Amino acid sequence: MKKIVNFYFPFFIAAILFLAACEKSNYPGGTVSPIIPIYDLRTLHKGEDLTLSPDNMFGAEKISGVVVSDHSGGNMPAGLLVLQDKRRLQQLRGISVAIGDAASDYIPGDSVIIDVVGGILKRENGLLQIKNITSDKVQKIASGRPIPSNRVPSSYILADPDKYESTLVAIVKGGFDPLPSPADILSGEKPLNDGFDNITLHTEPTASFAHKNNLPIVGNFFGIIFSSIDKNGNRVPKHHLRTEQDVVSLSSVIEITPIIITGYMPDVLGGDGNYEYMQFMATKDIDFSVTPFSVVTTNNAGATNPTGFPSEGWATGSKATSGNSRTFKFNLTSGTVSKGEFFYVGGSAKVINGSGSTSIAQAKWIRAFNYTTTNGDGFGLKTEGLFANSGNASGFAVFEGITVNKDTKPIDVIFVKNGGSLYTAGPPAAGYRIANTDFYDVIDPISLKSQPYFNMGTNTINFNYPPDQGYFIKLGGTYNPRLGKWVKARTQSLILFTKQSVLADLEEPSQIDVISNGTVVRTDTIPVTTLKD
C-alpha cells in the first residue's frame, strides 16, 4: 500500500484566539487601556446581541482604527463606517460601525476613536457590526494615515471570513469567467478568480462605476469584505469595490502556457542515478519536431559547480568543469502529445520507483536518456542525481525552444526550498528567471516593480523536500487554457510509492482514509493537475 502525506499550499495560517482577563491589581500605576483592540472586540460576540460596556470590554470604552470605507462611489452599505486596526498580536481586524449619513464624511486614511459604550454588537444580515452609535461618538484625530496593501488569496477569505470581514483586501491577478467582452460592465455580482478560488465581486447597480466596461483580463481588485446571507441561509463573504480606482488592470492579453509542471520523482528507493523523472501536461496539441521545447533542472547542493550565484542563470551548468553541474538540460525535439495528456522527461530506466520497480515505459516519454553516462543536451555534465534531496534549493523549468541562456525566461517553473546562492541584485544581477505562474510574478502585481528572478521580491514560494526516499511529488491544481491562468493553484502532495506502484498512481487521483482511534473519520482525495475549458 502507498502512504500519502499532504503538504497543502499555500498554507493557511490560523489565528490563535487570545482573551486576557483584566483583574484589579495592587500594582501602583497600573491602568486599564480605554481602547479595546478590534480583534478582542470581535471575539465578544457569541451569537447573541451584546450591549457593550466597560464590564464586558475588560474596562475599555472605545475602539480606534484607520478608516477604510469610502462612500463616494456608492458601493458601500449605507451608513456604515468601516475601520481596521492591528492592536492585538499584529493581527489585522476590522469592524463596521453604523453611524448613519455621517459615515460618508470620513475617507480612507482618517484615524478615528469611537466611544462604543451603549452600542450593540450584533450580526445583521450576516455582517458583524456595532449599532446604536451616534455620529457625535466618533472623534477624528488624524488624516492621511497610510493603509498598507493587504494581498489575500480568495481561498483564505472563503475559509475564514470572520478574519477578513470589514477589512480592506487586494484580490490580486483576478479575472472573470467567462471572459468579459468590451461591452460587459461591473454592475451586479460576478465570480472573481485569483488562481485560488472564486469570490463574489459585488457592485451595486447605482454605484458610480457600475457601468464601467472594458474590464481587465487580469487585474487587481481592492475592496472591503462584507458578509451577507444567501438564499439558503448561509453566510457568504463578498468583495465590494469602493471606487473605480480600486480596479487596476494588469493585462488585457491572454497568455497560454503550452506545457505545465504536474509532478516529479526526485529521490527514488535506492540510488537515484538514471531513475529520476519529471511529469508534465500539455495544454494544447504539440508536435515537438515542429515546436521544440526544453527542460532544465537545477541542483544547488554544495557539491555542485560552479559555486556562487548563477551568473548564467538556468544555463549556469555550461560553466561546470567537473562533477555535478548546477544545471542540466533536456531538449524536447521529437514526439507528439495531445492536449490534457501527461508526458515524462528523465532517466532512460523508465521505472516508477528505482531499480527493480514497475516499468512505466508505456507512458508518454518525450525525452529520456541515461544522465549518469551522458551529458545534458547543450549543458550539464553527467551526474548521479538531477535533484538535491535536502538542504539547498533544487527545481526545474520548461522553456520554449532549445536555446537557454542567462536571459531566457521559462514558461513554467517550480522550486523546492530556497537555500543557497540563488539570487543577487549585483550589479550585475544574477539568478534563476521565473515565469508568470500561480506562484511567481515577473512584475510585482502590487508595487508594479520588476522582479524577474526567484527569491527576488515576492517570488519566494517554494515546495518542501520529501522526508525520505520513494516519494512522488504530485502537484494538484486546475489550469484553464481558455483564460490562460491557473484557476486553482497547485498544491504539493507527497505520495510514498512502493516498488509495486503503477502508472495509474502517477496519473489518477489517489485516496487515503484518515483514521482516528481506529475509525475512519474522512477520506482525503489527493488530486492531479487538470485542465478546465
Please give the pLDDT value at position 510.
77
Q: Say if CB 346 and CB 354 are below 8 A apart.
A: no
* pLDDT band, very low/low/confident/very high, at 162 (cuts 50, 70, 90): very high
| Out of 16-20, 84-88, 141-145, 316-320, least confident range | 16-20
Q: Which residues in 378-391 are b (16+ Cβ under 10 Å) and which e?
A: bbbbbbebbbbbee
Question: All 3 cell numbers of residue 276?
Answer: 529520476
Per-residue pLDDT of 197-256, as tens digits, reads 999 999 999 999 999 999 999 999 999 999 999 989 999 999 999 999 999 999 878 889
Q: Tell me the residue type at 55.
A: D
Once rounded to an integer, what is the mean pLDDT over residues 64-89? 97
Confidence of residue 516 (pLDDT cuts 50, 70, 90): low
Q: What is the pLDDT of residues 418-466, one digit of tens each?
A: 999 999 999 999 999 999 999 999 999 999 999 999 999 999 999 999 9
Q: Where are the strands (E) in 379-518, listed by range?
A: 394-400, 412-416, 423-424, 430-431, 471-480, 485-496, 510-516
* Residues 271 and 354: beta-carbon distance below 8 Å: yes
Q: How confident is the model at residue 522 (pLDDT cuts 50, 70, 90)?
A: low
Helix (H) or strand (E) holding 40: helix 38-43
Q: In this structure, are residues 112 and 103 in contact, taking their beta carbons and an 8 Å threshold?
A: no
Q: What is the DSSP letter of 87?
A: T
- Strands 111-115, 138-142: pairing kind: antiparallel
How far is 335 from 280, CA to CA, in rounded Å? 14
Distances (CA, A) of 63 to 105, 126, 130, 278, 309: 18, 22, 11, 55, 50
What is the domain partition of the chain in residue ranges? Answer: 34-142, 154-251, 259-531
Say whether 154-251 and 34-142 share the same fold: yes
First to last CA, the chain: 34
At 21 the pLDDT is 39
Q: Tell which phi-psi region holds residue 378, choosing left (phi > 0), alpha (psi between -120 and 50) or beta.
A: left
Q: Are 287 and 268 in contact (CB under 8 A)?
A: no
E strand map for 46-143: 50-51, 62-67, 80-85, 93-98, 111-115, 120-124, 127-131, 138-142
Q: What is the mean pLDDT of residues 288-302?
A: 96
Q: What span, in angstroms and rounded, lies between the C-alpha atoms of 252 and 428?
A: 32
| Mean per-residue pLDDT over the chain, rounded | 91
Cross-strand pairs, 112: 65, 140
- pLDDT greater than 70 at residue 361: yes
DSSP per position, 154-217: HHHHHH-HHHHBTSEEEEEEEEESSPPPTT--S-EEEEEE-SS-EEEEEE-TTSTTTT--S--S
The model carries a pTM of 0.85
For residue 429, give the DSSP letter.
P
Comparing C-alpha atoms, which of 185, 147, 149 is closest to residue 169?
149
> With the CA atoms of 219, 221, 227 and 230 taken in that order, what torsion angle do they form, in degrees rounded to the nearest 10?
-30
290's CB contacts (< 8 A; 6+ apart) are none
Task: Determine the pLDDT at residue 526.
Answer: 83
**Mean of the pLDDT values across residues 94-114?**
98
Neighbours of 440 (CB within 10 A): 24
Tell me the fold of 154-251. OB fold (Dihydrolipoamide Acetyltransferase, E2P) (2.40.50)
Mean pLDDT of 183-194: 96
Q: Are 102 and 144 in contact (CB under 8 A)?
A: no
Q: Is 6 helix (H, G, I), strand (E, B) or coil?
A: strand
Q: Could you tell me the CATH superfamily of domain 34-142?
A: Nucleic acid-binding proteins (2.40.50.140)
Contact of 111 with 141, CB cutoff 8 Å: yes
